[in-house]
Every structure is written in structure tokens, then in C-alpha cells.
Structure 1
């Protein structure tokens, strides 16, 4: 089976100078990252979160979405990436549609696919990443596009990026010798490469958005090895290495031929009751959230409360995704997206909701656009 097809199936169930500066985790962190799935309390989604409100995104002829995979908040608006349509949709805080960003094609100011996007605070523009190592920039004021980086000969393929400074960008690629490549805009070249790709063979599996950023901290998830790194001007540093005990799975112990078909991998994961691979990581001062595939078919979220040193797990196979950020627009609560509106109705139909919450839930249209869910953790 084509490895690109394998990547599709996994994500559907779940999106020069060489140096690697690793910092060993503390003893406390080692204990914290040893996770026994079978000993963790499993709760339903309504019992995991509280202070819930629902906002269904407006559906018009121009705003119909397939699914949202990344949410950024800026200028009192939500910017949501729909990777299936290669577009970024823009909505107001009340869910009303504003505009969408899309520039597909072969012209200099166009991209072939859209795999990631980011705000460039130095230019006040939105940058869109093509996996062929090309970035185009979008300016909202006049809805114009321009080509700001084209390094296909050096970077192809890349599946995520993080803006480290005005000049430096960190790119992620799982099909090269290293996972992280630092690129200088001014020098137009890769300046360093970090994190040796430890997979036996390059396999085109990757988390939908391997980088995440919070305040001034940048994280990278290595889904192959269940590792989380932090990235700064000094390089890449190991922050967490997760081990799931009897549910752990070491892909390097299997040959490429044994897992060349998606069905073979899922069979191995089911046989070992593995929690693998990790496809999402989020961390702030209070919580850590991990998303992983359990037993080859179940997509689950692990939530760690730092203050109580406690893990909780919930099943989110039905498309609820914890794409987290501190949403100051909603009293500092987190925001997630439910891509199948009917599922959020089923998940919360028996929940203990107040009158306003019930009214909002009953107003959701099953054939409408995705639903934003604002909440705190219990």
C-alpha cells in the first residue's frame, strides 16, 4: 500500500550542520510520563469538561467546511484550517462567517496543498505552508497574496512550521534524516538540522500539526517515539518521553515490510492493545493533553492535571478534537471543535446542562457546519 494512503488512514482515525541537544527529564518527570492506561479512570466527555457553551459556525455557500484541524485566535476572530479543502476559514466570535483564505494553483503566489498556517507578527500577515517547501503570505487588508519563500530543493516535503524569529523558521519533515530543519529567510538556506529520525525506514506518517506554540514556548511532537521536545534559539531539547507500559509500542522493532499496509499495523496495535501513535500534544501551566490511538481503532484523549498529578482518559472517536488554546474571547476557557454536529448533540443529550446550554445544544443543526465548544476541565 502506498505510504501516503497509510498516513490518510491513521490521521482519519486520530492530522548541513547536524546537532541535537537533549536534556534528560527529571526523576519526577520520568515517573509522570510512565502511564498505565488500564489504571486511569475513563470518563465521558460531559464529565471531563464544565462551563460548556456551543457555537455553531455559520453555513453559507462560501463557508461550508469539511473539518477543522487547527484554530488560531486573532483580532477577535477565529481562523480555522480545513486541510481537506486546503483553506483557512475566518469567523467572528459569534460564529458568523467573515472570509476564507485560499490560493491553490501553480503560479508563484499559489500553493499546491495547504498543510499548516501561522501568523507572522513581524509583517502582520498570515503565512500558508505548502509541503513542497513553499510559503505564501496573505494580507487581510487588501486580500492579496505574495510568495515569501520557495525552497523546494532544500525542504520538500515538510508538514509543519513554527516561526522562531523574524528570520528563522523551524520546519518538520519525517521523510528526511532529521525531523527538524532551521531555515534562514535572509540566507535562503538550512542553517541546522536537529532530532535524528529514528524510524527504521522513512514512513509518511505524521501528526497533522507537529508544532504547537504557547506564549514564548514552542513544542514539537515526535509521534514515532512518543516524545515531546521544546525548541528555542539554542536548538531542540527533550521535554517528555512517554511510556505506556504494557500498552507501549515500539515501531522500530518492526520492519518496514511488516507495517507496509495499514491493516497490518492496526492488527499489531489491536493485538498488543497498544496506545500508539500519539497524534497531538498540548501543554500549559495547568494541563497536558495527549491524543492517541488505542488498540488500533479507538481515538482517545489523555488529560493530566498538574496540580493534582492525575491522569484522566476519555474516548473521542466520534470526532471531538481538543484543539486547545487559551481563548480570552471566552473568559479564558479552552476551545475545541466538533466536526460532526450530530455527535455533539448525542454526547451532551443526557448531560446536566442549564437552560442556556440546552437552548444552544438544541439549536445545533446536524447538517450544518462544525461546532466550536468552549469549556474548562472539571
Structure 2
């Protein structure tokens, strides 16, 4: 891979902290140079969304009562399965590769194999296990919906979770989860006896400041991790966390001392901090949207109240800035959120009406049959593959 370096990248990129429950206090540092995603000099796309697409297709899902869901909070696509976590419905619905309903995991309660509230879901594609994070416990189910085991944990609030290689799990935590985990990211082994903590948080930062700030993993065995109020995108594996990409937002970037100045201020709550970022019009990563395919990286960023997608070509190092409100021929613009990838496709579980029009434009067919099904609330999973040649070289 061709590497481009930001001047700041000549400094050591620290793995900020790594501690073990067994040893209380150990640390690790790394001098890995990140690749720069140059948003400041990226071309701003002003065409139709269809012009960016190399291919698009959809999977229609079953509509029996148990198969219906209200939201797509987590989405996992394999060659055999589609797994949807519906936070609003507090359930996990599993389909086969043709969209046929297989099973539903819905187990509220206080007993073994039950949960009070589900935060996030991960999938271990090696063991074929669906992993649920709930208040005070982690639960494992197989893809037939059968309960396997559970493990009590100290933390109660989880912002995101990922299944890593070697049976490890990674968690983005809310600060109030447990004060023995004074960090934003925790990696645990399969027995939960070996725990490493990364990205330490100062005790002066109150939980009301931290708990509502987005963090997010991409869905792979070595996922990317993003935290808002940082320009770094980190790689997480079973042993380390390191900065793989640094985003260059230019002169309007969120200041490097933003966390120290505002987030750590106990007099400012989470909404006040977000208001400051918005009022000053800082450019910053918008958490909860980073995804990675073989050729591209896609994440959402904000400038005040405006939102954009950054589409980064990993092969040539070029970046395209795409307005979040996508333009489509023959209909009003709209929004699409991509919570997963599959092969070289970015996968969406929402925006069906807009993407139906994209599909009909791309395939040059009449959209009426698709839109009729959408209007009947048939759930679709959409697969979008982006072109590489539309991403031009940086302006400078």
C-alpha cells in the first residue's frame, strides 16, 4: 500500500495505555506511522449518487411476524447468513443467504440466558456464535437461537462491541460502566481473565460527558475503531490498538486539545460539548459510521450542522467528499446509513425508497415494482459497490 504521511505523523503515535487486570499497570507504546486521509483537499462530489456506483443489488427478507424488525442497529453479512440486531425491538433476527427467516433471539428477563436491556451485538464467524452485550452480562447464542453461556461483567453500559481473532472481544465503554476500567476501549480474552484497557479517561471527566459520545467498530476480525473528538482511526487486534489512519481536516479541524479543554471540563455536559463543536463549525469525524471494504474506507464527518461522507480509496490514497444528503435522478434526495460491509460492498439496511430509485436508475429499469414492495414495508438489505476511478487526486 502506498503511504502518505502528515507532518504530525512523524511523532510517535501512542497506544495511549494498555493495562492488565493481572498486573494492574503496564504500558505499551508504538511508533506506527498512520496513513493520512486528506479530507481538507478532497474533491466535493456534486453529482448523482448513481455516478459513484460500480454495482448495486438487494436482498429481500421474509415478512412473517417474527422476521420483522424496527431498526438496524448492528448488521452482519456472511456467505450463509444475515444477522440483524434491532435495538428498538430488543431482538436479533437471523436470515439465510436468500433472506428466508431462520430464528429470532428475544429473551427478556432476569434468569440465565435472559437480559434486561441489549446494548450491542457481535458475531463470531469462526465459532458461529451471536454475542449479546447486556446490562451486567455478555451472552452467547448459536445461530439456531439456542443459548450457550453467559458471563457476568463489571461494566453496565456498552457503546459498541466487536468479536476479534483468538476469541477475544473488544468493547467501547461508557465511563460509568466501572471505575476499574478507566478507558474507552477494553479488550478481553475468551475467559475474561486477561483484560487490556486503551485510551484512558481522566477521572475529572464526569460520566455525563462521556456516556453519550459515539464510538464505533467496523465489523471485521481486526476492526477499525473511531472515537469522536479525535482525528485518528485505530486498528484493533487481539494484542494491540494502533492508529492506522489520521484524518487531515485542514485549518478548520477540531483542535487537538478539544478533549482536554471541553470534554474533560466537569462543568460542561455532553450536549454543551456538542453545541460548542457545532457552533464553531469544526470539522470532525462523526462517530458510528466508519466501515471498510477491500478497496475503500467510508466514514461520516461533520462541519457544524452539515454532514458528509468521506470515501477513501485505499489503493491510491485519494479521498472524495460526498454530501450526506444524496442526490438521485427522478426523485428527492435522501440519506443512507451503512452499518456493515460484505466483500467489496457497503451494506445498508435503511433508505429503501431512495435506494430503490438508485437501483432502477443504475439498471435502467422501471422502479415501480420495487417501490410497490417498499411501500408494503418489505425489508430489504442493499449492497453498494463504489467505483475507484471517480475519486480524483487531491487538489494540492
Distance 1:68 1:222 in 2: 21
Equivalent residue for 2:278?
269
Whole-angstrom CA distance in 2 between matches of 1:370 and 1:262: 34
Instruction: Tell me how far apart the structure 2 counterparts of residues 273 and 134 of structure 1 sit (CA, whole Å).
Output: 38
| 2:353 aligns with one of 329, 342, 361 | 342
Query: Are the equivalent residues in 2 in contact too, given 1:339–1:369 (CA < 8 A)?
Result: no
Measured after TM superposition, the shift of residue 86 of structure 1 is 1.9
Give, in whole Å, the separation in 1 of the partners of 2:42 and 2:280: 15
Q: Is the 8 A contact 1:63 1:100 kept in 2?
A: yes
TM-score by length of 1: 0.77
Q: Does 1:320 align with 2:336?
A: yes
Question: Structure 1 residue aligned with 2:137, among 134, 139, 144?
Answer: 134
1:201 CA drift (Å)? 4.4
* 1:217-275 superposed Cα distances (whole Å, 9 cap, x missing partner): 33222223132222234322121222312442244232546752637724641541534
1:196 aligned to 174, 196, 200, which one? 200
1:273 and 1:168 mapped to 2: Cα distance? 36
Alpha-carbon shift at residue 287 of structure 1 (Å)? 1.0
Distance 1:308 1:121 in 2: 31
> Are residues 1:180 and 2:185 paired?
yes
The question of 1:47 aligning with 2:70 is answered no
CA change 1:121–1:72 in 2 (3 A) is: closer
Instruction: State whether residues 320 and 336 of structure 1, in contact with CA within 8 Å, keep that contact through their aligned partners in structure 2.
Output: no
Q: What are structure 2's unaligned runs of at least 5 residues?
A: 1-23, 176-180, 326-333, 388-396
Query: What corresponds to 2:5 in structure 1?
Result: none
The 1:42/1:106 distance shift into structure 2, 3 A limit, reads: farther
- Distance 1:367-1:339 versus aligned 2 partners, 3 A rule: farther
Aligned residue pair count? 344
Change (3 A) 1:111 1:190: farther
Does the Cα contact within 8 Å between 1:44 and 1:314 map onto a contact in 2?
A: no
Contact 2:80 2:96 in 1 (8 A): yes
Q: Assess if the C-alpha contact under 8 Å between 1:292 and 1:300 holds in 2.
A: yes
In structure 2, C-alpha distance between the alignment counterparts of 1:77 and 1:162, rounded to whole Å: 18
Task: Assess if the C-alpha contact under 8 Å between 2:228 and 2:284 holds in 1.
Answer: no
Gaps of 5+ in 1: 1-15, 328-332
Quote the offset at 1:368 in angstroms: 0.6
Partners of 2:98 and 2:151 in 1: how far apart?
35
**1:99 and 1:37 mapped to 2: Cα distance?**
47
**TM-score under structure 2 normalisation?**
0.74
2:106 aligned to which of 102, 122, 125: 102
- Asked if the contact 2:219–2:341 (Cα under 8 Å) also holds between the matched residues in 1, the reply is no
**1:50-61 maps to which residues of 2 (within 5 A)?**
50-61=54-65
CA contact (8 A) 2:130 2:142 kept: yes
